[in-house]
Amino acid sequence: MSKTHIEISEVGPRDGLQSITPIMSTADKKAWIAAEAAAGVREIEVGSFVPARILPQLADTAELVAFARTIPGLTVAVLVPNFKGAAAAVEAGAHKITIPLSVSETHSLRNVNRTHAQMLEETARIAELIMGRPEAERPKFEGGLSTAFGCTLEGAIPDATLLRLAEGLMAAGCDEVGLSDTTGYANPAQVKRLIRLVRGAVGEAAVTGVHLHNTRGLGLANVLAALDEGIVTVDASLGGIGGCPFAPGASGNIVTEDLAFMLEAMGYETGVDLEALIAVRQQVQAALPAVELYGFTPESGLPLGFAQGQGWGASV
């Protein structure tokens, strides 16, 4: 039985809420963040610094960062599409900043209206901004390789393009790169292959996290493949809310509740209290009554005799 710690990074307040029509109130978002942190989730992506006219659902991100920073032990993460967003994130005090670089240039133009070259230039400017801060105030800077496993707009992504952009992000000043299955195209064999491929180009320590979707029912299978390759941070969304509004058909984030149960049942350490996490789901559903939530574990409940920290089914 493994006792490796796996970090569950909750992305629902950003990736989830940006993809639905209802706008959750700031008070409800704060309650969600506080409750999930209390349930043991130690990293939460609370929003994105994008213009409110584009994503009004995330207009209160600066206020949410300020609030989340008051929660002891919580890593406050945000997404930024450009230098302006990064400057706002740094000023707000985010602990972790991710810039999405779509390996599909068509998706990049649709998502952030920039080419690959322009995004790498923005990345270098952001890295310079971060390095100009006192060391204790520098957020971790991740380059997110979006559509790494395939794109609804371009189809298959050439390995050479993926490697060029991974190397470009690290050369521009990112601390690490993450592989993102924005469109839900990935399969377990591909997950293993691309993690090995990208690590071969930028180093093992630079690839520690993945963002996977469950669009075709392979989300958790892909997580297992990533764990086999030594990945230690996995993104998920409470209730499976979200996708990508700029990639047609990109629905279905991994359900945080199902991911946490699988990891705990396998004997991994997550620090998450499953019963408390399921209670957060009820809270979010009350705030978003018209939004469908997904997940098998909350519906079926925990197995009889299940005890966290002991795995499940290892011996009888």
pLDDT for the residue 312: 76
15 part of a folded domain: yes
130 part of a folded domain: yes
Contact 177, 208 (CB under 8 A): no
The Cα 210–Cα 231 span in angstroms is 7
pLDDT for the residue 140: 98
306 part of a folded domain: no
Running along the chain, 316 residues long, what does each successive block of 10 average in pLDDT?
85 94 97 98 97 94 98 98 97 97 91 91 98 96 96 93 98 98 94 98 98 92 98 96 56 90 96 97 96 91 86 62
211 - beta bridge partners?
180
180 - beta bridge partners?
211
Q: Which H/E stretch holds residue 84?
A: helix 83-92
315 part of a folded domain: no
The Cα 148–Cα 36 span in angstroms is 29
Contact 128, 110 (CB under 8 A): no
pTM attached to this predicted model: 0.94
Is residue 151 part of the annotated active site? The answer reads no
Residue 144 belongs to what domain range? Answer: 7-300
pLDDT for the residue 314: 56
Rounded to the nearest 10 degrees, the angle between the axes of helix 61-68 and helix 26-38 is 30
Closest CA to 47 of 35, 57, 32, 34: 57
What is the tally of structural domains in the chain? 1
pLDDT for the residue 242: 81
Q: What is the CATH classification number for the domain harbouring 294?
A: 3.20.20.70
308 part of a folded domain: no
305 part of a folded domain: no
Among the listed residues 244, 272, 277, 293, the single catalytic one is 244
The Cα 184–Cα 152 span in angstroms is 9
75 part of a folded domain: yes
pLDDT for the residue 251: 59
pLDDT for the residue 1: 42
Residues 6+ apart with CB under 8 A from 85: 48, 49, 50
The Cα 169–Cα 190 span in angstroms is 21
Q: Which residues of 111-136 are buried (b: 16+ CB within 10 A; e: fewer)?
A: bbebebeebbebbbbbbebbeeeeee
